[in-house]
């Protein structure tokens, strides 16, 4: 089936049913927590199972002399999707690993400053604070609100920069509420000041169009098991060629001297499971058949759809700007004077709907994140369940 030809409009539910049929069914729960990890398309799951069986029959030879010969092609495919050179891509397990590679791999000395925000991923913040404690670098928290305008956010970062700022740590889309940062503008400002940039793109790659070249950052990190739908345990680290030589790998690599991008690949970091990577190419195939722009439009449409159904519920409060063009699959809501953790449990136990409780600073609520296999009648089910538990 040619999915693109079948999908005249992003609102065509019939065409999206065709996409749904290509995904592993979600049961017993209606899965609205795809921002954590997504189910794979059936073809992806099958490719991985076949590869796993193949490995079992002759592990060493079948992994490293057979399956791994596909790795350059996998990198070429990914490079095309994210608009970088294959020589800038390292494959690893997840965003956390890629982020730690950058955080612990950049050479810094006492007094150097790293600019982060209170909203960055908790392990990112913890990594930088560890370096502060151990090496005497200075971590500076940039103060702004998740709901501030792009201009205000840019001003806050610029204000927090000093002549000692060496690294700017940015989150492309916050997992808390789906807010997207103006990372391209921020990277341009950082470049002018010789500041190294790390973008945590765990939530944006394959959810919305991302061009590494256009962002012109130093490190872009993502997980392939979120929006791309590759098997769980696949991540990608993109390192700008200007940074590869001067960045240390997380673990000492097998080959010496540790030069090109391979030093960040997980096959240089001990034994790993090659079968997991076998699912990347079929995942890219389905993704490109649909197209990133169309996916992003659909995800935005789904978010606006369920919010349209729910917004008149008494006490309904939204913590995501749904008018933004960068809106995608992730949004956060709360109901005034209700225990949101209890609401999460009630939805799961009484209506088999899985959404995610999130709390940071003044933001406390349930995060809703559909995927492209989600249909509008799933969202009807969710909002009907929500109304019922609130009665
Ligand atoms: C913004 C952000 N960064 C990093 C991560 C970590 O991703 P992983 O658990 O795949 O390493 C996540 C996961 O949800 C995330 O949302």
Ligand 1 centroid – CA 367 distance (Å): 15
Q: Do 13 and 67 lie in a common domain?
A: no
CA distance linking residue 236 with residue 246, whole number of Å: 19
Q: Do 278 and 338 lie in a common domain?
A: no
- Continuous segment of H or E residues that includes residue 126: helix 122-135
Q: Do 151 and 280 lie in a common domain?
A: yes
- Choose among 187, 147, 162, 64: nearest CA to 319: 147
Pairing of strands 138-141, 113-116: parallel
- Choose among 80, 70, 333: nearest CA to 205: 80
Q: What is the dihedral of CA 28, 30, 32, 37, to 10 degrees?
A: 30
Please check whether residue 37 lies inside any domain of the structure.
no
Confidence at residue 271, expressed as pLDDT on a 0 to 100 scale = 86
The predicted-structure confidence for 18-29, as pLDDT tens digits, reads as follows: 999 999 999 999
Q: Is 302:329 a contact under the CB 8 Å cutoff?
A: yes
Number of domains the chain contains: 2
Please check whether residue 39 lies inside any domain of the structure.
no
Q: Read out DSSP for 269-329?
A: SS---HHHHTTHHHHHHHHHHH-HHHHHHHHHHHHHHHHHHHTTSTTEEE-S-TTSTT--S
Encode 190-217: b = buried (16+ Cβ within 10 Å), e = exposed: beeeebbbbbbbbbbbbbbbbebeebeb
pTM of the model: 0.96
Q: Do 149 and 112 lie in a common domain?
A: yes
Confidence at residue 165, expressed as pLDDT on a 0 to 100 scale = 98
Residue 151 makes CB contacts below 8 A (sequence gap 6+) with none
Number of helical (H) and strand (E) elements in the chain, helices listed first: 16, 13
Ligand 1 centroid – CA 57 distance (Å): 34
**Residues facing 106 on adjacent strands:** 247
Q: Do 210 and 141 lie in a common domain?
A: yes
Please check whether residue 40 lies inside any domain of the structure.
no
Q: Do 261 and 335 lie in a common domain?
A: no
pLDDT beneath 70: ranges in the chain: 1-11, 255, 257-259
Q: Do 187 and 316 lie in a common domain?
A: no
Please check whether residue 279 lies inside any domain of the structure.
yes
Please check whether residue 38 lies inside any domain of the structure.
no
> Ligand 1 pocket test: which of 93, 117, 119, 175 has the largest number of ligand atoms within 8 Å of its C-beta?
175
Q: Do 131 and 222 lie in a common domain?
A: yes
Please check whether residue 36 lies inside any domain of the structure.
no
What's the CATH code of the domain at 260?
3.40.640.10
Q: Do 263 and 308 lie in a common domain?
A: no
Q: Do 185 and 250 lie in a common domain?
A: yes
Q: Which of 251, 285, 319 is the last residue of a domain?
A: 285
Q: Do 84 and 203 lie in a common domain?
A: yes
What the block records as the tokens of 265 is 């690949």
Confidence at residue 259, expressed as pLDDT on a 0 to 100 scale = 66
Domain of 236 in residue numbering reads as 45-285
Q: Do 210 and 298 lie in a common domain?
A: no
What's the CATH code of the domain at 359?
3.90.1150.10
Q: Which of 285, 307, 340 is the last residue of a domain?
A: 285
CA distance linking residue 89 with residue 78, whole number of Å: 8
Q: Which of 285, 314, 332 is the last residue of a domain?
A: 285
The predicted-structure confidence for 251-280, as pLDDT tens digits, reads as follows: 887 767 666 998 998 777 788 899 999 999
Q: Is 89:75 a contact under the CB 8 Å cutoff?
A: yes
Residue nearest to atom 12 of ligand 1 (CA): 202
**Using a 6 Å CB cutoff, which residues line ligand 1?**
36, 94-96, 121, 171, 175, 200, 202-203, 223
- Choose among 176, 273, 173: nearest CA to 233: 273
Please check whether residue 241 lies inside any domain of the structure.
yes
CA distance linking residue 376 with residue 361, whole number of Å: 32
The predicted-structure confidence for 91-140, as pLDDT tens digits, reads as follows: 999 999 999 999 999 999 999 999 999 999 999 999 999 999 999 999 99
């Amino acid at each position: 089936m040619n999915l693109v030809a079948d999908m005249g409009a992003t609102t065509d539910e019939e065409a999206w049913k065709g996409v749904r049929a290509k995904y592993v069914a979600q049961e017993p729960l209606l899965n609205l927590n795809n921002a954590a990890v997504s189910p794979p398309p059936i073809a992806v799951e099958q490719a991985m199972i076949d590869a796993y069986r193949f490995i079992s029959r002759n592990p060493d030879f079948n992994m490293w002399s057979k399956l791994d010969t596909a790795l350059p092609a996998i990198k070429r495919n990914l490079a095309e999707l994210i608009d970088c050179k294959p020589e800038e891509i390292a494959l690893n397990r997840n965003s956390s690993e890629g982020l730690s590679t950058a955080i612990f791999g950049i050479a810094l000395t006492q007094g150097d400053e790293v600019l982060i925000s209170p909203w960055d991923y908790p392990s990112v913040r913890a990594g930088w604070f560890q370096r502060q404690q151990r090496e005497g670098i200075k971590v500076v928290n940039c103060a702004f609100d998740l709901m501030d305008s792009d201009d205000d956010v840019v001003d806050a970062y610029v204000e927090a920069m000093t002549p000692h700022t060496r690294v700017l740590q940015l989150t492309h889309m916050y997992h808390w509420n789906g807010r997207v940062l103006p990372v391209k503008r921020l990277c341009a400002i950082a470049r002018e000041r010789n500041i190294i940039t790390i973008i945590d793109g765990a939530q944006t790659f394959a959810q919305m169009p991302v061009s590494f070249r256009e962002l012109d950052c130093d490190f872009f990190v993502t997980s392939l098991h979120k929006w791309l739908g590759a098997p769980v345990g696949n991540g990608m680290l993109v390192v700008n060629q200007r940074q590869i030589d001067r960045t240390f790998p997380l673990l000492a690599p097998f080959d010496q001297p540790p030069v090109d991008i391979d030093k960040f690949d997980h096959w240089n970091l001990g034994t790993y499971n090659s079968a997991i990577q076998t699912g990347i190419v079929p995942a890219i195939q389905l993704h490109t058949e649909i197209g990133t722009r169309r996916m992003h439009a659909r995800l935005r449409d789904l978010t606006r759809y369920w919010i349209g159904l729910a917004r008149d519920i008494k006490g309904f409060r939204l913590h995501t700007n749904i008018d933004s063009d960068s809106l995608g699959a992730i949004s956060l809501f709360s109901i005034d004077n209700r225990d949101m953790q209890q609401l999460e449990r009630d939805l799961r136990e009484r209506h088999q709907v899985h959404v995610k409780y999130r709390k940071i600073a003044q933001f406390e609520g349930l995060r809703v994140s559909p995927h492209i296999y989600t249909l509008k009648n799933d969202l009807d089910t969710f909002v009907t369940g929500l109304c019922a538990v609130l009665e």
